């Protein structure tokens, strides 16, 4: 299997995991643990796993790369996760997954600003269409058109999408020099210091001994799968493909999120902490998704021509 094929397979697995995460993580908050406390649990678990894996291949990091690693910790770990979990607790999984589809557009915007990629008319039209879809979705949520969706939650998810997009652009140069394990080990170690003040109180308030096996399984899935495995595969893929390609795979998340939500609610396969009802699909969701997908398609087509 070629490295490029492996990168695409890794990205598919990453977004399959992310699609399941929308319903799993929402089912745990805030009944089991608050969002900031859950983030701290994620980061602590990931730090232990990444540094344990790093023992197999120690790698020295140059001081000149420390500022970029710091920014990766801010936008890829601390701000990214804080906004996502606080947003997911306040909005519906369907809204969260649809808003995240705007991330590829933001990746191209940041790439143009930070590394000088040229923005053509095709890219500009695509960005405008994608932004329109996201804006309509935000306003619709604020009007109470979806159960569990709020404007505050949607805005948190939108900031999360921007933070993740910026992280993809920032981390790409590091992958030319270091392994994904080294970059993630340092990013999460620094990120842990940032999220500790926000999450310590909520994490300490959890009655860990009272949790059942299903809840522990959901927590383990988020820590190991959504955090450790997904971040490792995503970052590794950036050694082979461009950030825009990584962002493209986010298109799969709305479909997977809805599919998993139906399975959890109707199939009885969810951990006991998950009680979400099957999502009601309305025409406005299709319209917003179509605008976002069309916008990203136009941006990517213009980028290929350039």
Quote the number of domains for the chain: 1
Domain range spanning residue 39? 3-305
Q: Give residue 202's region: left, alpha or beta (phi > 0; psi -120 to 50).
A: alpha
User: Is residue 213 over pLDDT 70?
Assistant: yes
Q: Which helix (H) or strand (E) holds 295?
A: helix 283-305
Average pLDDT, the chain: 80
| pTM of the full structure | 0.78
The number of angstroms, rounded, from the C-alpha of 285 to the middle of its chain's C-alpha atoms is 20
Task: Average the pLDDT over 207-215 and give the result.
Answer: 88
Whether the CB-CB separation of 69 and 216 falls below 8 Å is answered with no
- Which ranges in 91-240 belong to alpha helices (H)? 93-100, 103-115, 121-142, 151-171, 180-204, 213-220, 230-237
User: Is residue 57 over pLDDT 80?
Assistant: yes
For residue 65, give the DSSP letter. G
CB neighbours (10 Å) of residue 274?
20
State what percent of residues in the chain have pLDDT above 70. Answer: 76
User: Is residue 107 over pLDDT 90?
Assistant: no
Give the pLDDT score at 20: 77
């Amino acid at each position: 299997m070629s490295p490029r094929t492996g990168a695409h397979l890794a990205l598919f697995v990453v977004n399959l995991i992310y699609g399941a995460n929308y319903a799993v993580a929402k089912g745990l908050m805030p009944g089991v643990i608050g969002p900031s406390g859950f983030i701290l649990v994620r980061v602590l678990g990931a730090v232990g796993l990444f540094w344990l894996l790093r023992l197999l291949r120690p790698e020295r990091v140059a001081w000149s790369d420390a500022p970029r690693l710091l920014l990766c910790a801010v936008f890829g770990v601390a701000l990214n996760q804080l906004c996502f979990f606080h947003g997911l607790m306040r909005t519906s999984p369907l809204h969260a997954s649809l808003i995240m589809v705007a991330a590829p557009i933001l990746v191209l915007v940041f790439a143009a600003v930070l590394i000088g990629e040229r923005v053509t008319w095709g890219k500009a039209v695509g960005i405008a269409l994608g932004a329109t879809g996201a804006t309509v979705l935000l306003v619709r949520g604020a009007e109470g058109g979806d159960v569990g969706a709020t404007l505050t939650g949607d805005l948190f998810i939108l900031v999360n999408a921007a933070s993740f997009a910026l992280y993809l652009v920032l981390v790409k140069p590091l992958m030319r020099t270091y392994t994904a394990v080294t970059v993630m080990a340092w990013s999460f170690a620094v990120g842990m210091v940032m999220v500790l003040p926000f999450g310590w109180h909520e994490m300490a308030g959890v009655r860990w001994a009272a949790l059942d096996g299903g809840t522990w399984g959901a927590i383990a899935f988020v820590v190991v799968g959504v955090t450790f495995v997904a971040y490792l595969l995503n970052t590794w893929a950036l050694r082979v493909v461009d950030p825009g390609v990584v962002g493209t795979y986010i298109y799969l998340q709305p479909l997977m999120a809805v599919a998993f939500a139906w399975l959890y609610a109707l199939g009885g396969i969810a951990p006991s902490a998950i009680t979400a009802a099957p999502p009601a699909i309305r025409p406005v969701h299709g319209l917003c998704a179509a605008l976002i997908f069309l916008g990203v398609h136009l941006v990517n087509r213009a980028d290929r021509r350039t």
